[in-house]
Amino acid sequence: MLFNSYQFILVFLPAVLFGYFALRFFATKAVTLLWLIGASLAFYAAWDPWNLLVLFTSIALNFICGTSLADRARSGRPTGLLLAVGIAFNLCMIGYFKYAGFLAANVNTIFGTDIPVLDLVLPLAISFFTFQEIAYLVDSSRGETYGYRFKDYVLMVVFFPHLIAGPIVNHRILMRQFMSNEQLSARAPTLALGSGLFVLGLAKKVLFADGMAPQANLIFDGVARGASPTFAEAWVGALAYTLQLYFDFSGYSDMAIGLGLLFGVRLPLNFNSPYKAENLIDFWRRWHMSLSAFLRDYLYFALGGSHRGEVRRFANLIVTMLLGGLWHGAGWTFVCWGAFHGFGLAICHFWIRLFGTAQRSGTSRSGAMVGRTLTLIFVVFGWVLFRADSMGSATKMMGTMIGLNGFDLGINADRQLTTLLTLASIVTLSAIALFAPNSQQWLGYDPQHRAEEHSSWASHFATAYPVHGVALGCLFVFTLTQMSIVQSFLYFQF
């Protein structure tokens, strides 16, 4: 069941909302939370009921381990061994399902062995809930968790707005809301804000991301089959995928936050106009913000961060991004994409150390634009690695993009009109991504405040919302008419 499907929008979501609000008025908060747990498990089971076995096993063992770690930490007993066992369990589980086949295939290639390559079905969202639970174990070992009830922990993991593709929500954020003695706040401004974000996210996915998908697939799939694109076609394909991924992930992030707000739950931002970044460090503070925070707090700092000298700092950055790339998928293209960004971040930090940041040096607006342009070009080349089916396809695309095969601006005659329309779409969507306010800026979402407490949103709701409400309603209806072919979100595969 996809957020951008009629089944979800017209059947599942209205039914869950109806039950939720009915229970809020006629039952206790505990019953309301159980309703959300049941709805989230039904949402997850709709993909494959067998995945529930993996999910339940992970939840039960991590909760038991985390509770024991918290007790040990508070009593001053050692936690190292139990923490290592808990983390090893999570890594083994994700390693078995996600990387066993990749590892076996590479061992067979290198050593000429004949290890059976397992063709396992990856349990949905295992990459996301595994990282979330590792963070819970680490914080429990530090004594930073206390008194978590099992039902609250279960809902923290399975809450359907963030379960499938993030954000990777830290336990503190959700537990503070689930364990409050008050009912989850879902007043009129909150519902209006949540609905607005959901509609904007749906439009981004259906109208923008899915509109870019055919041209991106045409070029990348053609290269995978052995075709040789021209210089112009390679850039069109790379830019089409760059925008497809941007609006796909931005759309999902908006929809997840919007759905959370419909139930009175404030999820953290996970996407903040990353193509406006002036350097690569800034990019990773804006793209998949929850994953960046996890890698920083639980991997980069664990490796020593920047406290053991510059060389070690750069090595830690590269290792962190290598593992971040591997997290996205079991393939050498993802490993190389992680390394590409790791070396890029190391160079960026080294450059700033030598010459200072734009803020400190007072760089001109033109200098900032140069930084944004160079960063975006770097990111586009990285996305070629991210999208390509193999390293051979990636190097072929990238070589063509830098002119190794000439600078042919020609376009296949059979698809000239389609390509010209794609170019027009690329220019339009690039302008939106690079210069327009993002969703949270336009609607005034702040995860630290309730909608009714946020002054800018309160003013916006009181004065402009009727007009915007009509516009969003029309956008919602139009988007529904364009959902004849439902495409999954790109981050579902990770």
Looking from the CA of 89 toward its CB, the CA atoms found within 13 Å total: 19
Following DSSP, what letter does each residue of 380-405 receive, concatenated? HHHHHHHH-SSHHHHHHHHHHHTTTT
Strand partners, 441: none
Residue recorded with tokens 């870019």? 212
Is-cis flag, bond preceding 14, omega within 30?
Answer: no
- H helices of 331-464, in order, are 332-355, 358-361, 365-387, 391-401, 416-435, 439-443, 455-463
From the candidates 171, 328, 341, 454, which is the catalytic residue? 328
Question: Tell me, what DSSP letter sits at residue 209?
Answer: I
The DSSP element (H or E) to which 291 belongs, if any, is: helix 289-295
Element (H, E) at 205: none
Cβ atoms of 173 and 150 within 8 Å: the answer is: no
C-alpha span between 286 and 448 (Å, rounded): 17
Tell me the C-alpha distance between 252 and 128, whole Å: 14
Q: What residue type is assigned to position 349 of the chain?
A: H
DSSP-derived letter for residue 287 is B
Task: Give catalytic status of residue 328 as yes or no.
Answer: yes
The alpha carbon dihedral of 258, 261, 265, 270 has a sign of positive
* Furthest C-alpha separation in the chain: 74
How many Cβ atoms from other residues are within 10 Å of residue 471's Cβ? Answer: 12
DSSP at 85: H
CA pair distance 315, 320, nearest whole angstrom: 8
Cα–Cα distance measured from residue 130 to residue 56, given in angstroms and rounded to the nearest whole number? 12
What is the separation of C-alpha 28 from the centre of its chain, rounded to a whole number of angstroms? 33
Q: Which two tokens stand for residue 228?
A: 């040789």
SS3 487: coil
C-alpha to C-alpha distance for 419 and 214, rounded to whole angstroms: 10
Pull the structure tokens for residue 33. 């939370």
* Active site positions, annotated: 328
